[in-house]
């Protein structure tokens, strides 16, 4: 139980080689497309034990285990491994970096084969549907007919919902966590301000900054806004209070308070690992996301046989529980088998990364019910 899966390596799959380019939701085409991905556990002979995990806005394919030389494991390591929620003794776990990303998958920082230079803003508009379509190519490549489950939090949850709608016959279950069926104007607004901060930075230069400095300050501000929305009022009060950073009398516009120092640190570390154009493209994809597509949500979910488990967190004000309630209600109306749990937490939106114990319990049992077709109690645990 609770072991690490140890050393892992990111792999790459390239498809949609011209002239067989990928057709995007916008009507534009893109190719070739590379997805960076990692896998944990072993695919069984029938290829029936595969689970596809989706990362959030700033995540990547490295969900679990350690890269050679790294001190920190992947972003959801607490949930993936032998005996963990996504139990690698039982399941074959796949995670890929999204289309449009900057961690090995094709995105605006990739080289445009037509020009030999990074795409920048020549990269086409992408949507959540396009991200999921790209993942479907990867699943085809593995020869997996039907995924046991798709799962993810935040934007990862949107992908889990998009799989339900785009490829309902190719998944047995979907686990959307701390997410929404459509971005609200408040969610759009927070993303938009982040984009404005990036585009206000003269180093952004209309997206042509590769090889140069890049809009580090703008991206840092965007990330700071994000971090405020990922925490709750209560968790900030618990973590920082009104404590000053040191004994000195506060002076003007230095980071006097601990919370200011935290935000600056988060902003500064983000710019070393993320591409500003990817931030623009991916947040825009999130904002466009409305799975109901102008129909009523339960119409869209009709006929889906995959089982769904939705999770939300009480103090999450960025993706408030009422947005999960809308998903639950529509699934019920559509006759979809849905389980819902609202987990008590003070962590805000970050809870989906932190409330490991509750999530583990719920997901483990849900997956076994899907995999074995019946409830498996703890006595039968392997």
| Options 275, 278, 349, 350, the catalytic residue | 349
Omega into 269 within 30° of 0, i.e. cis?
A: no
Shortest Å distance, C-beta 263 to a second copy? 6
Note if 349 is an active site residue.
Answer: yes
d(CA 69, CA 169): 40
Residue closer to a second copy by CB (options 38, 256) is: 256
Q: Please, which residues bridge with residue 112 across strands? A: 117
CB of 230 to a second copy, least distance (A): 11
In the structure, how many helices (H) and strands (E) does the chain have? 11, 14
Phi then psi dihedrals of residue 71, to 5 deg: -95, -25
Query: Phi then psi for 232, rounded to 5 degrees?
Result: -110, 160
Of 62 and 217, the one with the shorter C-beta distance to a second copy is 217
Catalytic: which of 109, 154, 172, 278? 154
Return the number of the residue (111 or 121) whose C-beta is nearest a second copy.
Answer: 121
Q: What's the Rg (C-alpha) of the chain?
A: 21
Closest CB to a second copy among 188 and 376? 188
Q: Which two tokens stand for residue 124?
A: 């086409």
Judging by DSSP bridges, how do beta strands 117-118 and 111-112 pair with one another?
Answer: antiparallel
Quote the tokens at residue 115. Answer: 């020009």
Chain contacts with a second copy (rule: CB under 8 A): 26, 121, 125, 182-186, 188-190, 192-193, 195-197, 199-202, 217-218, 220-221, 224-225, 228, 231, 233, 236-237, 239-242, 249-253, 255-260, 263-264, 267, 280, 284, 287-288, 290, 317, 320
Q: Considering the complex, what minimum distance in angstroms separates the CB of residue 251 from a second copy?
A: 7
Q: Min. distance of Cβ 252 from a second copy in angstroms?
A: 6
Which of 316, 324, 345, 350 is the catalytic position?
316
Q: Is the dihedral of CA 327, 58, 347, 264 positive or negative?
A: negative
The residues annotated with a catalytic role in the active site are 154, 316, 349
């Amino acid at each position: 139980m609770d072991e690490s899966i140890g050393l892992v390596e990111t792999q790459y799959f390239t498809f949609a080689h011209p002239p067989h380019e990928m057709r995007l939701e916008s009507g534009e085409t893109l190719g070739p497309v590379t997805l960076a991905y990692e896998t944990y556990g072993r695919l069984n002979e029938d290829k029936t034990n595969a689970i596809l995990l989706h990362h959030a806005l700033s995540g990547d394919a490295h969900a679990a285990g350690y890269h050679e030389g790294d001190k920190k494991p992947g972003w959801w390591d607490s949930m993936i491994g032998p005996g963990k929620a996504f139990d690698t003794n039982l399941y074959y776990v796949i995670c890929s970096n999204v289309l449009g990303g900057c961690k090995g998958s094709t995105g605006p920082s990739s080289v445009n084969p037509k020009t030999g230079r990074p795409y920048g803003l020549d990269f086409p508009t992408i949507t959540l549907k396009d991200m999921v379509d790209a993942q479907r190519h990867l699943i085809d490549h593995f020869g997996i007919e039907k995924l046991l489950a798709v799962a993810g939090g935040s934007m990862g949850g949107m992908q889990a919902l998009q799989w339900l709608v785009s490829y309902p016959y190719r998944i047995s279950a979907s686990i959307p966590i701390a997410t929404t069926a459509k971005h609200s104007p408040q969610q759009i607004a927070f993303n938009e301000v982040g984009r404005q901060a990036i585009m206000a930075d003269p180093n952004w230069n209309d997206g042509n900054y590769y090889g140069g400095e890049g809009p580090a300050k703008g991206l840092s501000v965007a990330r700071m806004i994000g971090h405020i929305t990922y925490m709750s009022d209560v968790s900030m009060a618990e973590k920082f209070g009104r404590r000053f950073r040191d004994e000195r009398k506060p002076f003007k516009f230095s980071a006097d308070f601990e919370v200011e120092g935290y935000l600056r640190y988060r902003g500064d570390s983000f710019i070393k690992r993320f591409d500003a154009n990817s931030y623009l493209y991916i947040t825009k994809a999130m904002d466009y996301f409305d799975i109901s597509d102008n129909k009523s949500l339960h119409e869209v979910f009709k006929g889906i046989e995959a089982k769904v488990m939705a999770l939300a967190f009480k103090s999450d004000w960025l993706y408030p529980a009422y947005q999960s309630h809308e998903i639950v209600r529509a699934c019920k109306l559509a006759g979809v088998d849905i389980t819902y749990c609202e987990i008590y937490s003070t962590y805000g939106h970050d809870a989906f990364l932190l409330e490991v114990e509750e999530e583990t319990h719920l997901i483990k049992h849900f997956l076994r019910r899907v995999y074995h077709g019946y409830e498996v109690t703890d006595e039968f645990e392997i």
